[in-house]
Structure formats: C-alpha cells, structure tokens
Structure 1
Amino acid sequence: METKHKAVVLGNNYYIGLSIIRSLGKHGIPVAVLDYQEEGAYARHSKYVTEKLIGPHYSKEPDKLKDFLISYAKNQDHKPVLYPTADPYVLFIDKYLDELKEFFLINQTEQGFWSDLIDKDKLYVLAQHHGILVPKTIQIKNRPDIVQEVEQELGYPCIIKPSDSSSFVSTFRKKLFKVTNRKELEEGLKKTEEAGIEVVVQQLVQGFDDHMYTFDAYLDQNSKVTHWLTAQKERQYPINFGASVYIKQKYVPELHEIGAPFLEAIGYKGFAEIEFKKDEQTGDYYLIEINVRTTNFNQMLTELGFNMPLLAYRELTGQEIGQNSLKETTDLAFHYMYEDLHASRAYLKSGQLSWKNILKTYTEKRVGSIWAMNDPKPGLYYIGGLADKIRNRLIKR
C-alpha cells in the first residue's frame, strides 16, 4: 500500500484520536498528531506516532491554527490527510475548508456541509425533506407561549436539546435536559437563556438505552455507500442521553434501508454514523443525530474489518477501497470501562439495570478503548492522569 502521504490527527486527549492513530499506524502510515497542549494528550504517546506537534487552540485562536496547519502542509512533499477527532475540530475544518483543502486531503469538499449536519435544527429539516422520521421539535425563538405549546403538543417527559452540543456540554456537563414537569421546563429554559445557548424542546422517543442503534458507513467521493455495518447500544454515559460505553455489533437491515439512501441523496462523503432510536411502542426508527467524525467505538469497527480512517486514507490518496458490508450479528462489543463504571453506578441507582445485567457483559467478547499490550504507553499515561486527578481532589479536601 502507498504510504507517502502523512496523516495529521487533530486532538490527542481522547481515545477517538488514539484509535485513529492506531488504525493508520499499524499499516505503516506516518502519523503526525496535533494538540494545543501536552498535558492530558495521552494518545500522542502511541508508538505509531511519528511526529508530535503543538499548535494554537482551535477556538481561542482558530485563524492562527489554520495558518499553522497550512504552513506545516506546505513543507511536506505530499498533501497530508486531515482527521478531526471531535466536533469542535470538525467545525474548525469546516469553517476554513476552502483554504485547507488546497493543502490537505479532506473527505468533505463543500464548506458548511458538516456544520449544517451538526446543527440539529438544520439536520431535522433536511431529514424530514427526505422522508426520515425525526423527533417532533418546537423552536423556542419568538414564542412567548412556549410552555403551553410544549404541554399541548409534546407533553412530559420531553427534552431541552441544544443546536450546538459542544457549547452546551462545556457549560452544563451534560448533553441535554430531561424535563418531567412545568417547573423543570421553565428552569431549563431559563438556564440556557442566561448562558446564551440556543436550544429546542423535543419529543422524547420512548425506550431504554438499548433502543439506540447506529448505522456506520463510508461513502466514496461519488457519495455512494461502499462499506457499512450496524450496532446496538447497551449502556451509555451519561445514562439515557450520552455516548456509547458498551455497544455491540448487531445486524439491523432496516437501518441500511433508511440510512444509505439518505446519505447518498444529500451528497455525503467519507465516514458517517447515524444514530437512531427505536420507539418501543411503534417500532419506528427515529433519526437522532449524525456523527460526521470518527465514532468513539472505531476500534470495534476496525476489529471487524471496517477500518474507516484507513478507507479515507486510501481513497483520498488514489488507492482502491472496494466494498464491504456486515450482514450478520457477531455480538463483538466495544467497552470504555472508565466511563462505564460511572454509568453502571447511575443505572443501578436509578433501578434501570441490575448487577446481573451489568456483570454478564464482562464475560462477553469485547474491544477496549485505550489499553493495548502492544502499545502500552497511552494507557500508562492515561492511568497516570487519573491518578493525578484523584490526588488533587484529595489535596483539596
């Protein structure tokens, strides 16, 4: 395989970045990693990293980061392939896409496309236009009778959900507010207004966390699905409205029937993950969101033969990628143990799961998020970072 182009991975302080590094590095691809600080960036200690860069902050100094990246790319013999590891980096690339794509190889070619899909309001309008079910949503702008409208059209429980998840999470340390009565609705709307964060009030599709499913696909530069598989969540953190901490590959053909035509119709390119929730009463699948960056359980996909970062590298550097789909259930799971411990405690406290439900999953076939015997340094640095946090908390007490 041709490996003369470098891969540049933006963001090294989370296991998604680590997974991308390993997915590429194992195939001899030179991997340069970039973050705005060394502290906490445990992924950059992987043996597969060939170059470590420190650059400006993506939100504090975005113009400088753009110039830094372009300057770096100009000094390379071949255009590097650029990989974002989190939504803030996706939004950064999207903002400067027209400039960056002159010097980097990037899946998406239309500026603003990624941002529109991350924006839940725009995504839902787009999905409805293509006949995809989405949760019923009420905009709160210029609606003085919003509380009455919610009670009449949605009822309780419902959710207060941000248009921009990253700013909401950084402010409130959760993805949304679940509200079960008028008081909670009014308090939630007041908090978001005071924080200056745009939100909507949305229908809560009924069903436990195992009613959450994903359609994971790669689309080539002609916007055709070439690779795909599906999965089912079992536990997430924060519970009920968070990221997967225990998820299994499960074949659900209905998700392909819904997701593939939609992604092709909107002109998607590269890796996409559509999250669906199955209504426990009707059995209908509702589109919840689209992740336009590498999924957090990328390591599981790679183990199953769907190395999405490698597919992007090969296609963007002019190499054949073929086609593949997984039309059977393997039950291979992805497990992020650290956050799952917090999630499990919350599930037990709320009575949603029992110890028996949780412990049996520890005997199942699963792929971890960070630790690897053949690449131990990231795991050791991660454990060291946790130890420092615990020590600092004890000192403060």
Structure 2
Amino acid sequence: MVKKAVIFRVNYYIGLGAARCLGRNNIWVVAAIENNSKVKYGLHTKYIDERIDIINVKENPQKAFEQLVQYAKRQDAKPLLIPTTDPYVEFVDRFLDELREYYLLPPIKKGLYTKLMDKDLLSVLANQNNVQIPKVIEPNSQDNITETLDKVEREIGFPCLIKPVNSHKFVAVFKEKMFIANNRDDIINGLSKANEKKMEVFIQQLIKGFDDQMYTFDCYIDKNGEMTHWATFQKQRQFPINFGASTYIKQRYVPELVEIGSRFLLDIDYRGFAEIEFKKNARDGRFYLIEVNVRTTNFHILLEKLGINTPLIMFKDLNNEKIGTEFIREDTEIHFWSCYEDISAIRGYLRKKQLTLPNVIKSLLYKKVEAIWAFDDPLPGIYFVLEKIKKFIYKRFSR
C-alpha cells in the first residue's frame, strides 16, 4: 500500500519545496496542477511521482472538490493534502469536513483557518487571548469620513496602513499588499479605491522599525494538541520592500516569541503547521502580532535544514507514525535566500537608501539555502532561468 501526499501548486517554489521535503524521504508525491498556470518550472522536479489535473479552485471550487474526491476514491489509503497558498487554504476550509472523508488533514475545527487569515477575526482572537496587535480603526461610511480621519489622527497617527481583510484577493486586484497613508488625503484615496473594487479594508497602526525587526515563529502542533517542533526567525529583507514576503531570512532564537506564539496557538486549539509573523516596535521593544500563515511557509527548505521538515512531520503524524520533537534553542545563522526576488528587493532598498551595498554584500556571506536551486534537483532552477529569459525576450520584441 503506497501512502501519498497531494500538493497544490508544485509549479511554484513553495509547493516545490514541499515536494522536495517529502520526495527526499521517499514519500510518493502527487502534484495537483491547475491547467491555466503560466509558471511551470517547479513541475520539472524529479520528486514528482504522479500528476493530477484540477480546475482553478477560485473559478470553480465545487468542480475542484469533485476532482479531488474522484482521485482519492481510487487510492488504497487516504493521501495527505497540502495547501501551499491562501486560496488553497480557503478552499480546504470550505470543504474541510467533506475532504476529511478522503484525505489526511489536521484535526482542526472548520472555520479556524479562515478566521486566522481574516484580519478582522484575527484581531478578535488576538485580543481574546491577550496578544499584542497593532491598533485598528474600522472606517466609517464615506458620509462620515471626517470622523474616521479625526480618529486616525487622534489614536494612531501618520503614517498608517490601509489593509485588506482578505489579503490574497486584494493583492490580485491591486498588485500590492496594502496602501500606505501619510496624510488624510491618502486615506480618502485609499478607501475610495478599495470601495470601488468592493474590497473590505481597515486602517491599522504602523509599527515603527526597519524590515529586520520582522520576526516569525514557526511550529508544528501534533494531532493530539502537543507542540512538538518550533524555531524562530528574523527577516533581513523582503519584497516588496517594507511590506512583503521574506526574500532573505535567518534563523535566530527569540525565547519571547516562543512564549507568545505557542500560548496563542494552543489556546485557540490549533493543529498542524503554523507561522506567526511579529514586528518588534522600535519605540517600546514589544512584539506585535502582524499575521498568521496557516499554510506551508515559503522557507520550509530552511526548516528542513534545521531538522524540522514540516511536510514530512505532518505526513508521519497523520499516518500515526512517531515524529519526535525538535526545538531550536540557538542561533545557527543559516539563511533562506530567494535569489531572484531578493535582487529586486536589494535594488529597492538601495534606491531608497535604506541599505548600503557593502552591508548587502556582507549579509550574503552567511551559509544559506536557496528557494529554487538545489544540486540534487537542478532542473527546476534551470527551467526557472529559461522562463525568465523567455519572458524578457517576449517583452523586448513584442512592442
């Protein structure tokens, strides 16, 4: 009997990393592929054993669910199902009870994934569990905009952030994670753009501090509710700069994050892998919860290097195998590097004079693992470069 793991979006480096984490341990990897995807490089990994085609989960979630069920019914054992981006997590949460009949999934209460991704509901959960979060103001209607503006100036000040309740839908429309408001006019314009696209947003306090004051707590809570693995990390750079995803991040032990993060997740009865992002306030030195990622992280290749192979841990846990424990209580200085995106980030930091070239060069001297390139699995890296060259040529000569 072959035990399998079905992974969404292996074509992109997050899913690719999950496939490598499992494939290197002789787990049968099934890539669930959306036919309309333009990104293909990850599909050239040698660690894919099988492929299944599914329709886009955002366009037709019911059909995607039916396709997954049809595949699972043909298997001798329930496969593990791994969502790798927020839309897939929303899809899994929508059909969670039904999918559990056919797939291995953490024993988490239906709706909790969505609550943690929804910024309004996350704020409620954080407040209920005494976790420090940035101050939030809910905008009034356009008729009462003056009242909102006065409240912003009085309670949180400028600059501040206009953030979406649903991040990935906002990014899909505006190609950025949030709007930055430096004055009252910026708030009026930001709210107007969001209302025009029917995007639900809120205004949030900006926690002072450079990007290296962003930290993460990454952990695994087993099916019985025991926290078995954790590590903490400190961002060095991200893209888009100041408000983006990690492009260069290092492992750094921060005991305070372990205490805050583990208490929060255990109190809400969470199961499986989670990543909590914090920012350390430059003014008071306190850690503020920014967001919770309930999907696989973009740097689980770094976690694998540290002995916390989260896809494999989940696979074993849900298949009733022993998973042991691993807690990183030291600074290893090992970095995760998303080279291509980090180059864009570096250009942005240099352009805005937030970093100097000597500092950037010095930072790259540390031991690191790369997001896409791997010596034991080179084809995805080669095809990634070829895709970028093809894209450049198309833009260059199609004008």
TM-score by length of structure 2 reads: 0.97
Deviation at 1:168, TM superposition (A): 0.8
- In structure 1, how many angstroms separate the alpha carbons of the residues matched to 2:43 and 2:98? 26
Note the alpha carbon deviations across 1:252-273, whole angstroms, 9 max, x for none. 0000111111111100000000
Where does 1:317-396 land on structure 2 (aligned, <5 Å)? 317-396=319-398
Note the alpha carbon deviations across 1:223-274, whole angstroms, 9 max, x for none. 2211001000010000011000000000000001111111111000000000
Deviation at 1:150, TM superposition (A): 1.2
Corresponding residue SS for 1:49 = coil
Aligned residue in 2 for 1:44: 43
Matched, 1:132 2:131: yes
- In structure 2, how many angstroms separate the alpha carbons of the residues matched to 1:39 and 1:88? 17
Q: 1:27 aligns with which of 25, 28, 47?
A: 25
Corresponding residue SS for 1:363 = coil
Give the letter for the 2:156 counterpart.
L
Moved more, 37-46 or 243-252: 37-46
Corresponding residue SS for 2:162 = strand
Give the letter for the 2:136 counterpart.
T
Matched, 1:111 2:102: no
Q: 1:179 aligns with which of 175, 178, 181?
A: 181
Aligned residue in 2 for 1:85: 84
With over 3 angstroms needed to count, the CA separation of the structure-2 counterparts of 1:141 and 1:106, relative to structure 1, is: farther
Deviation at 1:141, TM superposition (A): 4.5
Give the letter for the 1:120 counterpart.
K
Aligned residue in 1 for 2:5: 7
Note if contact 1:84-1:293 (Cα within 8 Å) is conserved in structure 2. yes
Note the alpha carbon deviations across 1:134-166, whole angstroms, 9 max, x for none. 000011244712222211211101000001000
Where does 1:252-267 land on structure 2 (aligned, <5 Å)? 252-267=254-269
- In structure 2, how many angstroms separate the alpha carbons of the residues matched to 1:61 and 1:338? 32
Note if contact 1:33-1:49 (Cα within 8 Å) is conserved in structure 2. yes
Corresponding residue SS for 2:55 = coil
Give the letter for the 2:217 counterpart.
F
- In structure 2, how many angstroms separate the alpha carbons of the residues matched to 1:108 and 1:204? 35
For structure 2, which runs of at least 5 residues remain unmatched after alignment?
none
Note if contact 1:158-1:178 (Cα within 8 Å) is conserved in structure 2. yes
Deviation at 1:109, TM superposition (A): 3.2
Aligned residue in 2 for 1:64: 63
Give the letter for the 1:350 counterpart.
K
Deviation at 1:222, TM superposition (A): 2.2
Corresponding residue SS for 1:380 = helix
- In structure 1, how many angstroms separate the alpha carbons of the residues matched to 2:105 and 2:289? 26
Give the letter for the 2:230 counterpart.
W
Note if contact 1:159-1:203 (Cα within 8 Å) is conserved in structure 2. yes
Corresponding residue SS for 1:340 = helix
- In structure 1, how many angstroms separate the alpha carbons of the residues matched to 2:84 and 2:306? 21
Note if contact 2:336-2:369 (Cα within 8 Å) is conserved in structure 1. yes
Aligned residue in 1 for 2:194: 192
Deviation at 1:13, TM superposition (A): 2.9
- In structure 1, how many angstroms separate the alpha carbons of the residues matched to 2:185 and 2:394? 37
Give the letter for the 1:92 counterpart.
F
Moved more, 36-45 or 268-277: 36-45
- In structure 1, how many angstroms separate the alpha carbons of the residues matched to 2:206 and 2:364? 30
Aligned residue in 1 for 2:93: 94
Deviation at 1:281, TM superposition (A): 1.2
- In structure 2, how many angstroms separate the alpha carbons of the residues matched to 1:97 and 1:45? 30
Q: 1:215 aligns with which of 190, 207, 217?
A: 217
Deviation at 1:396, TM superposition (A): 2.8
- In structure 1, how many angstroms separate the alpha carbons of the residues matched to 2:38 and 2:261? 39
Corresponding residue SS for 1:288 = strand
Note if contact 1:35-1:41 (Cα within 8 Å) is conserved in structure 2. no
- In structure 2, how many angstroms separate the alpha carbons of the residues matched to 1:383 and 1:65? 31
Corresponding residue SS for 1:132 = coil
Give the letter for the 1:113 counterpart.
L
- In structure 2, how many angstroms separate the alpha carbons of the residues matched to 1:54 and 1:94? 20
Aligned residue in 2 for 1:157: 159
Matched, 1:281 2:283: yes
- In structure 1, how many angstroms separate the alpha carbons of the residues matched to 2:304 and 2:70? 32
Note the alpha carbon deviations across 1:182-224, whole angstroms, 9 max, x for none. 1211111111110111100000010000000000000011222
- In structure 2, how many angstroms separate the alpha carbons of the residues matched to 1:193 and 1:142? 10
Note the alpha carbon deviations across 1:286-325, whole angstroms, 9 max, x for none. 0000000111111001001010010000000010111110
Aligned residue in 1 for 2:241: 239
Note if contact 1:44-1:52 (Cα within 8 Å) is conserved in structure 2. no
Give the letter for the 2:66 counterpart.
D
- In structure 2, how many angstroms separate the alpha carbons of the residues matched to 1:152 and 1:109? 40
Note if contact 2:108-2:269 (Cα within 8 Å) is conserved in structure 1. no
- In structure 1, how many angstroms separate the alpha carbons of the residues matched to 2:9 and 2:129? 34
Q: Which runs of 4+ in 1 moved over 6 A?
A: none
Note the alpha carbon deviations across 1:317-373, whole angstroms, 9 max, x for none. 010111110100001000001111111111011110010111112211111000112
Deviation at 1:379, TM superposition (A): 1.2
Give the letter for the 2:113 counterpart.
W
